[in-house]
Homo-oligomer: A and B are copies of this chain.
């Protein structure tokens, strides 16, 4: 149980100064070969490694990225983390992850926690509650303190920063258009409540596709799921009442519930009902039938977000207080495409 060795201890042991040890380990020409070799050997023997915390304090940077997301038991978010981690690793960064649990307060607490020197920059996706309250003071504050922020997926126009998103509206439009092309006319939408930005955008895309094809936009064909438990019932009711021929769901969970509801009523998918979902995850790949989805490449999204953040950090470092902060923020759009599987004809 020997604690990690420090420069000071090596110095004392070898009867030289701390600076001599430090310089020797960096192979500085200031130090004689003899001394260097002796110190290096000693350090290697005791497996000396510089203390990260001390380095962070000295360099005023931690080489750590803070990630704040609503939840982690969620295929999409897990893939994004995976993407972030890849790029972070490639560039010598670590990631520290905080979960907001869809709570505004936790999001704020976590951000303030990390903002006090623990990290060099944020990558985040807004919690539902934050989007509902539209209170972004914690983010503004972080940015004002010079902490770069990259938002992904659930973003807001109220904050100026780098963002990486998918074109939710267009993707939804394309998915619905595909249904229409196949002859569907009565297309139901199963969505979340409106304050979640992506839900709103996907609804917009759905509506536009209908209108562009001269299909009346019928509010009765839209289910806004507030609470998971009644989702199935609502869909069954719609199937019963309206004789719809397709369902467009904003996530795969809603889609699989729709399929189960259809089965329960003796309808076959895709023969009697086509189903398309947003977010290509595990469920879509393994449900029966497999579900046609809009791909939403989390890995790519995460990689892009991390690349943007690290790019900014490095630029910052290069400028080094030149104060020429070119406040030019970018919004990257990740391509999506429709993955055709067995839930559509």
Q: Which residues of A contact B (CB under 8 A)?
A: 1-4, 47, 49-54, 56-57, 62, 64, 71-75, 78-79, 81-82, 85, 89, 94-99, 106, 112-118, 141, 144-146, 253, 256, 259-260, 263, 282-283, 286-288, 325
A159 → B minimal CB distance (Å): 16
What are 19 A-B interface contacts by the 8 Å CB criterion? A2-B146, A4-B116, A49-B115, A51-B117, A52-B116, A53-B62, A54-B57, A72-B72, A72-B82, A72-B85, A73-B78, A85-B97, A89-B106, A95-B97, A253-B286, A260-B288, A263-B288, A282-B282, A283-B286
Known: A64-B96, A287-B287. 4 other contacts (CB 8 A): A52-B117, A72-B85, A78-B78, A95-B97
Q: Is the Cβ of B116 less than 8 Å from the Cβ of A146? A: no
> Which 8 interchain pairs have the tightest Cβ spacing?
A288-B288, A51-B117, A96-B96, A53-B117, A52-B117, A73-B78, A49-B116, A52-B118
Q: Contacts of A73 on B, CB cut-off 8 Å?
A: 75, 78-79, 82
Report the minimal beta-carbon distance from A234 to chain B, rounded to whole angstroms. Answer: 18
The answer to whether A1 touches B146, judged by C-beta atoms less than 8 angstroms apart, is: yes
Chain B residues near A263 (CB-CB < 8 A): 288
Residues of chain B within 8 A (CB-CB) of A47 are 141
A145 / chain B contacts, CB cutoff of 8 Å: 1-4
The CA of A282 and the CA of B282, in the complex, are separated in Å by: 8
Q: How far is the CA of A82 from the CA of B98 in the complex (A)?
A: 10
Alpha-carbon distance between A89 and B106 when the two chains are bound, in angstroms: 10
Interfacial chain B residues near A112, Cβ < 8 Å: 49
The residues of B that contact A52 with a CB separation of less than 8 Å are 113, 116-118
Chain B residues near A94 (CB-CB < 8 A): 96, 98, 113-114, 118
CB-nearest residue of chain B to A98: B94
Cα–Cα distance between A114 and B49 once the two chains are bound (Å): 11
Pairwise interchain contact A72-B64, C-beta atoms closer than 8 A: no
Chain B residues with Cβ under 8 A from A3's Cβ?
A: 145-146
Which B residues touch A146, using CB under 8 A?
1-3
Residues of chain B with a CB closer than 8 A to A283's CB: 282-283, 286
With a cutoff of 8 Å between Cβ atoms, the chain B residues found around residue A117 in the complex are: 4, 51-54
Residues of chain B contacted by A260 (CB below 8 angstroms): 288
